């Protein structure tokens, strides 16, 4: 689980993005290219430079022709893993102001675009999670909202369940989907697809899609949380080969 700040420019926010490139390069067996981004991440972590200098150094790394060529060559036809990291980097360094029309259109979406709590799952999926309200109160209903994103298309055969855990006890094992009690089913409340660069409700589009169609599916569940330090565990039940079933148990939430 990791987080990336997205408000004012912050050198620390570049570090997890750089490390994603390091991980990708290592998977592609590109040690020299991995070392470039690893050194930059360590430098920013040890002694963060002023934002302008950090921005220039990071841009130079992302724009270095031989490095990018090596990564693209190894990726072959599917360059999406690196494209996604680049998009995240440039969206942070050079944030784009949405048009008034686009801002109005996105205003009511339930989908979580960015959150402090998220997981990178198999099949290039990402899961973002928030509680509503942001600071849950003991004994009151709390909405747990989950958004599953996949760059290739809708994942229809996926279910989510959530439960209250105690981080002081043994968390549910990642492979243990049966022994823990108290699971609550999360309901699918929204599906967004990206067609021709535009966000649309899936229900307002054609039923089948040709080619890659990025998708966000948002799920809600209600929990009543007791006071103290708690965890919210998430069970993923998937019948997709690309997305593995598992339990996520590292989301700790203080309850007042």
Predicted local confidence at residue 112, as pLDDT: 92
Tell me: do 204 and 140 sit in the same domain: yes
Predicted local confidence at residue 244, as pLDDT: 93
Q: How many domains does the chain have?
A: 2
Residues 6 or more apart in contact with residue 218 via CB below 8 angstroms: 110, 111, 112, 145, 146, 147, 148, 188, 189, 190, 191, 192
The reply to whether 139 falls in a domain is yes
Predicted local confidence at residue 7, as pLDDT: 37
Domain that holds residue 64: 11-93
Tell me: do 78 and 46 sit in the same domain: yes
The series of mean pLDDT values per 10 residues for the chain, 256 residues long, is: 44 88 91 90 86 83 82 84 83 60 60 89 92 91 94 91 87 85 94 84 78 90 92 94 92 89
State in Å, rounded, how far the first CA of the chain is from the last one: 23
Predicted local confidence at residue 43, as pLDDT: 87
């Amino acid at each position: 689980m990791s987080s990336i700040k997205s408000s004012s420019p912050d050198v620390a926010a570049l570090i997890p993005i750089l490390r994603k490139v390091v991980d990708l390069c290592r998977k592609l067996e590109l040690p020299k290219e991995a070392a470039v981004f690893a050194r930059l991440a360590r430098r920013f972590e040890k002694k963060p430079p002023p934002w302008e200098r950090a921005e220039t150094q990071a841009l130079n790394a992302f724009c270095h022709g031989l490095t990018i060529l090596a990564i693209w060559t190894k990726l072959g036809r599917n360059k999406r893993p690196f494209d996604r990291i680049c998009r995240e980097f440039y969206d942070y360094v050079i944030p784009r102001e949405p048009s008034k029309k686009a801002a109005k259109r996105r205003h009511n979406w339930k989908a979580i675009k960015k959150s402090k709590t998220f997981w990178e799952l198999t099949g290039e999926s990402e899961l973002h999670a928030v509680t509503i309200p942001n600071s849950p109160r003991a004994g009151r209903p709390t909405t747990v909202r989950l958004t599953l994103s996949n760059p290739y298309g809708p994942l229809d055969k996926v279910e989510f369940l959530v439960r209250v855990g105690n981080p002081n006890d043994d968390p549910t094992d990642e492979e243990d989907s049966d022994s823990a009690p108290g699971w609550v089913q999360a309901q699918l409340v929204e599906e967004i697809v990206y067609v021709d660069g535009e966000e649309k409700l899936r229900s307002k589009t054609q039923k089948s899609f040709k080619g890659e169609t990025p998708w966000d599916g948002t799920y809600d569940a209600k929990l009543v949380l007791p006071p103290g330090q708690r965890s919210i565990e998430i069970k993923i039940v998937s019948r997709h080969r690309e997305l593995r079933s598992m339990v996520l148990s590292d989301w700790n939430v203080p309850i007042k």
